[in-house]
Structure 1
């Protein structure tokens, strides 16, 4: 089946590409959905040029070239949101729009030194992974999804884990965003304990093209692809239809 438009999902830190499967399932066969593992997470090896936002963007750009994506929309979640913004500023051929789910802002993430150190110490620890799951989600999830989220957390490479906390999350790519010239939308959960909707309204929304909306999903936390796949799919479908 040929698709007029594809979605390319870029997953959250300590996650994997299959985090988007609930959203892809909710969309059905109407749109192709590609969701690679990002370097050092899931089954992906380390990015060849290191773990900077641009190194990740290079890997994704190469992935896009190798897939039959046609016109596509980048769907960046959390860490993947910052990578999606870096890609959108490059004016890649075929890029039709960007949807940001609870995105890491283009400016340094607001994280205290205490939280950063606690996150660094949490690598590879099952109890910490379970605690993180409880913190970053607000809606109840099926047991199988909870196990998958914890397993993805625990198989993150230490290099990728630490690089994002110490460097990637602190990068500032705000001065590039003026050049983004495709439609964008930001989606946030109103009870996100990691990044509140106000953060997106202050740090990301003003830098995106005029007409960009900030959509709020009531009762959802940070893991929107798992917590609100139907709502996310509905927003993606409406966004895609607006591009056709």
Structure 2
């Protein structure tokens, strides 16, 4: 289903039932399909809503701006459009940075925050030359294949591998450029300490993109009482590398800190 959000047609998929909603924000080059395996493991107890962010998947690719504020605004407007009353934001990498900004605004109904392999709220420390080349990783199938190999660790099924490649190449050129050249370099670190909901952070043990130490220093240290659980033996793509482990961490966190509240 597509919703009119900030003048764009945003592709949204809903599964499961429950009084608490989990809203999923995918990574750079991903789509709502990134969350498929994870949602299968959570949908019995929670309403799960995933969507293709602007410029990704089957969502509108006409936008010219892909700043973190744009991504956070899309999520906020979708929350209003769907009438969500109690929800948890689940963000991965780029999606986690957008979730950080939205959570810092303390939207009504936000009950928790889950950050998977989160991008830093401070400007990335990658050299400009690498960021320029990163903007073109997904231009060819070969480049997308190399990207998947570089950022994952555990073996992927053929179906998952092909899904990742297809999603990466489906990304709009403006979106491909915007993350490494603009949004990655935005500084939202002053806003992050305003987050006041239970927060779970799930770095991958061998993540080459957002390593555990960097996540602890740049993300966890800025969020009051954030809980960090390292996903064993995974790279940057733990939602598809280890969905069982990620789902287990999320379920335990929700039962302990969210489901029992109010």
Q: Which TM class, normalised by the smaller chain length?
A: over 0.9
Shift of residue 70 of structure 1? 3.0
Asked if 1:234 is matched to 2:248, the reply is yes
Shift of residue 48 of structure 1? 5.3
2:198 aligned residue = 183
**Alpha-carbon distance in 2 for matches of 1:2, 1:199:** 36
**Alpha-carbon distance in 2 for matches of 1:39, 1:28:** 24
TM-superposition CA deviations, 1:119-161 (whole Å, max 9, x none): 1232321101001110111000110000000000001000011
2:10 aligned residue = none
Give the 5 Å matches for 1:186-201.
Answer: 186-201=201-216
| Secondary structure class of the residue paired with 2:124 | coil
**Alpha-carbon distance in 2 for matches of 1:49, 1:55:** 10
2:167 aligned residue = 152
Contact residue 22 and residue 225 of structure 1 kept, 8 A: yes
1:135 aligned residue = 150
**Alpha-carbon distance in 1 for matches of 2:248, 2:101:** 25
Structure 1 residues 159 and 12: CA distance shift in structure 2, 3 A: same
**Alpha-carbon distance in 2 for matches of 1:47, 1:98:** 29
Contact residue 124 and residue 155 of structure 1 kept, 8 A: no
1:162 aligned residue = 177
| Secondary structure class of the residue paired with 2:139 | coil
Asked if 1:3 is matched to 2:18, the reply is yes
Aligned length: 243
Give the 5 Å matches for 1:1-244.
Answer: 3-46=18-61, 50-209=65-224, 211-242=225-256, 243=258, 244=260
Greater mean deviation of Cα atoms: 27-36 or 74-83: 27-36
Unaligned ranges ≥5, structure 1: none
- TM-score (norm: length of structure 2): 0.89
Structure 1 residues 135 and 162: CA distance shift in structure 2, 3 A: same
Structure 1 residues 90 and 49: CA distance shift in structure 2, 3 A: farther
Shift of residue 239 of structure 1? 1.4
Q: Which runs of 4+ in 1 moved over 3 A?
A: 46-49
TM-superposition CA deviations, 1:40-64 (whole Å, max 9, x none): 0111114757211001111111111
Q: Which structure would you say has the larger RCO, counting Cα contacts within 8 Å and 6 or more residues apart?
A: 1
Shift of residue 90 of structure 1? 1.1
Contact residue 47 and residue 55 of structure 1 kept, 8 A: no
In terms of fraction of residues, the more helix-rich structure is 1
- TM-score (norm: length of structure 1): 0.95
Unaligned ranges ≥5, structure 2: 1-15
**Alpha-carbon distance in 2 for matches of 1:170, 1:117:** 12
**Alpha-carbon distance in 2 for matches of 1:13, 1:133:** 12
